[in-house]
Chain A
Amino acid sequence: MIKVADLTVKMGGRSILNDINLEIPHGHWTCLVGPNGAGKTTFLKVLLGVREYSGSLQDNGVEVYRNHKRNVAFVPQSPEIPTGMTVAEYVALGRSKVDGWGNETAKSRQFIEEVLIQTQLYGMHQRHVAQLSGGEMQRALIARALAQEPQLILLDEPTSALDLHHQISVLNNIEDLKSRGVTVISTMHDITLAAMYAERIVVMHEGKTLLDGIASDVIHSAELRTAFDNRINVYTLDSGRPVIVASKDESKN
């Protein structure tokens, strides 16, 4: 269990996260949703352990700040793309936490191959990461995370800038990680997709959590509408699946 108590993060005197109290269960997919500037990315970085905070954030009873003992994979929204690095080299970096830097075993290399096959990157593993398309790069990031065999994976907007086809393929890869027992925490702008894949949703607004709970409950909540200034509509398809769309501001016409 990840326990967040009275968590506050300040930057330049301004509160980015303000007095957050939350419990995130392991083994599930939790999605952080909310408008831009709500503090979702900062919260992910705090969960990773790279951001200082006041209050407490414990993962299985241990404070996370600068804690290198945890094995947490991080998939950023805008990754740094190393010039000239091949896909195989890039994915192999994920083994550093398991084998030690540059010491991957023959077994590890076999594991990397399996990960490349699983993420449909095997045929292009000698290509440079800089030459990959947006969807392929996202899969390379997921492949590196798979190679890391983490306990927890944090993903910042894993589907933004991807077409529908690639969105589904990346989300399926993440779901596969979860089926291996990995805890998934992601941010996502597309709330419909969040409701489709995540089991739990946390609604964030202006550095605070408005609501957290089971996805189907949160989707129909008033707090979700409040977070988006009542500018969203929630429809339910015949299949029972919710669809969230932005409502057009009629007063502007």
Chain B
Amino acid sequence: MKKTSAGIGQIWNWKITASCALILLAIGTLAISLGPIHLGFFDILKTLIGAHGLEGQDRTVLLDLRLPRALLAALVGAALATSGAVYQTVFRNPLADPYLLGAASGAGLGATIAITNSGGNIYGWLPIFSFVGATLAVMTSFFISGRFFAEPNTLLLSGIAVGSFATAVQTYLQQRHSNALRPVYNWILGELTVANWSIVSWSSIYILSSILVLVTVSKKLDGLLLSDEESFSLGIDPNRLRMIAVAAATLATATAVSASGLIGFVGIVVPHLVRGVTHRVTNRSLATIALVGASFLVLADLGARTILSPAELPIGVITAFVGAPFFLFVLRTRRVSHQ
């Protein structure tokens, strides 16, 4: 057998990551310029660098509405896509999503408790309650499953049980407080309309630090795709790495959910899209997955606020509209590849 001049090539081409960063920048600029009020590119640039740019209402639209909203969409998209990819690696399950261990139902219950007890000031307490709910649900899943990762399937099943329990309590509370139905429903579909600089700043701390941790360990995560004995032989402590990965992914997910509600399918669609286009499953793609996740959600949010303008579509509708057919496509190709 002879070598070809092409050789085996690079396992990951970092030019792809750099290109995705530029695409995010372009999509971000597009998103903050489009809407009922059109803002010019150079005016935006001048305003952002502090030169004489937009004034009055246009300035408010840019700095207080569109910019924080686009940034929050980018943060949430990056968090969900990265967490999804990490969960898929850790559980060696291509269909795992960031809400797998009960984070979504826990956050849903937390949000419902906040909404039914808020007395009007919904958004003050909602992020805190949903964050605590998501974190508690994941911790309970781990507690029930016993030894850490001794049996990943037990952990998945306890995640499902905890999720079902939280959903049952949530439904009971909604039945008792019918006035909470609509706000809870809106929250479940996901929304970025509440974005402001306060939410952007606290969520960016948690999300960016989680992503930084995950990208730092991303090269090692490939070892978790093998059996524990094989990964140990390649120099990894698999349980320690899983603990770091799941903790960081859960923190990112809980923050994303508490900032913007339940936005589905990003965590599945984006990692598979990147892997499918690049024909690589290596976790060296994690930074790229974060950038594509950010671009995807910024674009979805642009659609959510412009398609039925001046009315808004819940962003979860857009991501599910793209995500559900894609999910079925993944299922189908997986079935074909196993035949």
Count of residues in A whose CB is under 8 Å from the partner chain: 44
* B49 in the interface (beta carbon within 8 A): no
* A92 in the interface (beta carbon within 8 A): yes
* B43 in the interface (beta carbon within 8 A): no
* A101 in the interface (beta carbon within 8 A): yes
A72-B233, A82-B225 are contacts. A89–B11 as well, Cβ < 8 Å?
yes
Q: Is the CB of A83 within 8 A of B235?
A: no
Chain B residues near A136 (CB, 8 Å)? none
Q: Is the CB of A113 within 8 A of B229?
A: no
A102-B284, A117-B3 are contacts. A96–B227 as well, Cβ < 8 Å?
no
| CB closest residue in chain B, given A124 | B1
Looking at A44-52, A178-186, A204-212, the stretch in contact with chain B turns out to be A44-52
Chain B residues near A101 (CB, 8 Å)? 219-220, 222-223, 235-236
Chain A residues near B338 (CB, 8 Å)? 130
B1 CB contact (under 8 Å) in A66, A86, A117: A117
Query: In the complex, what's the smallest C-beta–C-beta distance from B333 to chain A, in angstroms?
Result: 10
Task: A72 to B227: give the CA distance in the assembly, Å.
Answer: 15
Task: A117 to B7: give the CA distance in the assembly, Å.
Answer: 11
Chain B residues near A96 (CB, 8 Å)? 220, 223, 234-235
Q: Is the CB of A113 within 8 A of B3?
A: yes
* A79 in the interface (beta carbon within 8 A): yes
Chain B residues near A60 (CB, 8 Å)? none
Looking at A30-38, A103-111, A165-173, A234-242, the stretch in contact with chain B turns out to be A103-111
Query: In the complex, what's the smallest C-beta–C-beta distance from B258 to chain A, in angstroms?
Result: 32
Chain A residues near B334 (CB, 8 Å)? 83
Q: Is the CB of B7 within 8 A of A93?
A: no
* B232 in the interface (beta carbon within 8 A): yes
As a 0/1 sequence over residues 207 to 229 of chain B, the CB contacts with chain A under 8 angstroms (1 = contact) are 00000000000111011011111
Q: Is the CB of A45 within 8 A of B7?
A: no
A101-B219, A102-B219 are contacts. A109–B232 as well, Cβ < 8 Å?
no
Q: Is the CB of A89 within 8 A of B280?
A: yes
| CB closest residue in chain B, given A68 | B235
Q: Is the CB of A76 within 8 A of B223?
A: no
A79 CB contact (under 8 Å) in B1, B10, B223, B226: B226
* A225 in the interface (beta carbon within 8 A): no
Q: Is the CB of B337 within 8 A of A74?
A: no
| CB closest residue in chain B, given A80 | B227
Task: A72 to B3: give the CA distance in the assembly, Å.
Answer: 29
Most buried by A among B8, B10, B227, B232: B8
Q: Is the CB of A86 within 8 A of B7?
A: no
* B171 in the interface (beta carbon within 8 A): no
Q: Is the CB of A112 within 8 A of B234?
A: no
* A61 in the interface (beta carbon within 8 A): no
Q: Is the CB of B7 within 8 A of A113?
A: yes
As a 0/1 sequence over residues 1 to 30 of chain B, the CB contacts with chain A under 8 angstroms (1 = contact) are 111000111111000000000000000000
Most buried by B among A48, A92, A93, A131: A93
Chain A residues near B12 (CB, 8 Å)? 102
| CB closest residue in chain B, given A51 | B229
B8 CB contact (under 8 Å) in A66, A72, A109: A109
Task: A125 to B1: give the CA distance in the assembly, Å.
Answer: 12
Q: Is the CB of A89 within 8 A of B282?
A: yes
* A12 in the interface (beta carbon within 8 A): no
As a 0/1 sequence over residues 83 to 99 of chain B, the CB contacts with chain A under 8 angstroms (1 = contact) are 00000000010100000
Task: A103 to B282: give the CA distance in the assembly, Å.
Answer: 13
B92 CB contact (under 8 Å) in A48, A80, A88: A80
As a 0/1 sequence over residues 59 to 80 of chain A, the CB contacts with chain B under 8 angstroms (1 = contact) are 0000000101000111010011
Q: Is the CB of B8 within 8 A of A125?
A: yes
Task: A238 to B34: give the CA distance in the assembly, Å.
Answer: 87
Task: A92 to B225: give the CA distance in the assembly, Å.
Answer: 14
B230 CB contact (under 8 Å) in A79, A85, A110: A79
Task: A101 to B279: give the CA distance in the assembly, Å.
Answer: 20
Q: Is the CB of B281 within 8 A of A83?
A: yes
Query: In the complex, what's the smallest C-beta–C-beta distance from A110 to chain B, in angstroms?
Result: 7
Query: In the complex, what's the smallest C-beta–C-beta distance from A8 to chain B, in angstroms?
Result: 20
List 12 A–B pairs whose Cβ atoms lie within 8 Å, in order of A's numbering: A48-B232, A50-B229, A68-B232, A74-B230, A74-B233, A79-B226, A79-B230, A96-B223, A97-B233, A102-B222, A125-B8, A130-B338
Residues in chain B within 8 A of chain A (CB atoms):
1-3, 7-12, 92, 94, 218-220, 222-223, 225-230, 232-237, 275, 279-282, 284, 334, 337-338
